[in-house]
Amino acid sequence: MMDFLSRIQKLAENEGIKIGALERLIGASKGVLSRAIANNTDIQSKWLVAIVENYPQYSTKWLLTGEGAMFNNDTPNTVEQVVSNIPGTGIPYYDVDFIGGFDEIFNCQAIVPQSYIKIQGFDKADFWCNVSGHSMEPKINHGDIIALHKCRVEDILYGEIYAVVTDSIRTIKIIRKSKQPGMLRFIPINIENYDEKEYAVSEILYIYKVIGSISKFF
């Protein structure tokens, strides 16, 4: 078991984060991973799944067995390979904040991506941008970057995370069906500090499926 746990530690070190930050990222309670590492005990399989889902660039075979390369063969393994300034080499990244400055992408024809990001598992994204706020922690943290795919209200899968733009708000929440006709429930993950709200479908100007989020590494 220790070999497996040591690889989790190596993953965290490679990402430049502490084990506590990794626990928050995968939605685990404080100490779930650190206690297992300290005591050389097992962890639930759901935490392994969460690590794999949040870090698709790492080889699952390596994580489980230690065999093979640390990174997937078709996945870049350095910042230089993941991030490029050459158009068409990845998904555009705009250095704007979804909550605060997202209008720039649409209202300024001169704005260009700061860079292009290529990470396995995010191929369906239309672009990346910054996120601020704490309502979706620990899954999406303040300062992360998020991969977004533009969709329609008709495409909504209830229980999934979406980034929504209306005349008055920009928000990232879990969307669920409301009991009120023509309304949608917007639900935070951090329910201790944020409340659920409802908004009319007719208010939605743009909606994006959140493909995923990662800690900014460049």
CB-based contact 211:149 (threshold 8 Å): yes
Handedness of CA 93, 13, 18, 192 (dihedral sign): positive
pLDDT digits (tens, 9 = 90+) for 7-52: 899 888 888 888 998 998 888 989 999 998 888 888 887 888 888 8
**pLDDT above 50 for 77:** no
How confident is the model at residue 104, as a pLDDT?
Answer: 57
pLDDT of residue 96: 87
Tell whether the model's pLDDT for residue 81 goes beyond 60.
no
Q: What pLDDT does 86 receive? A: 84
Q: Which fold has domain 2-75?
A: 434 Repressor (Amino-terminal Domain) (1.10.260)
Q: Look at 29-43, 87-101, 171-185 and tell me which has the smallest mean pLDDT.
A: 87-101
pLDDT band, very low/low/confident/very high, at 102 (cuts 50, 70, 90): low
Q: What number does CATH give the domain 80-215?
A: 2.10.109.10
pLDDT band at 80 (very low <50, low <70, confident <90, very high): very low
Residue 78, exposed/middle/buried by CB under 10 A (0-12, 13-18, 19+)? Answer: exposed
Q: So where are the chain's domains? A: 2-75, 80-215
Radius of gyration (C-alpha) of the chain in whole angstroms? 19
pTM of the predicted model, to two decimals?
Answer: 0.65
Q: Which residues touch 167 (CB under 8 Å, ≥6 apart)? A: 203, 205
Single-letter amino acid code for the residue at 70: M
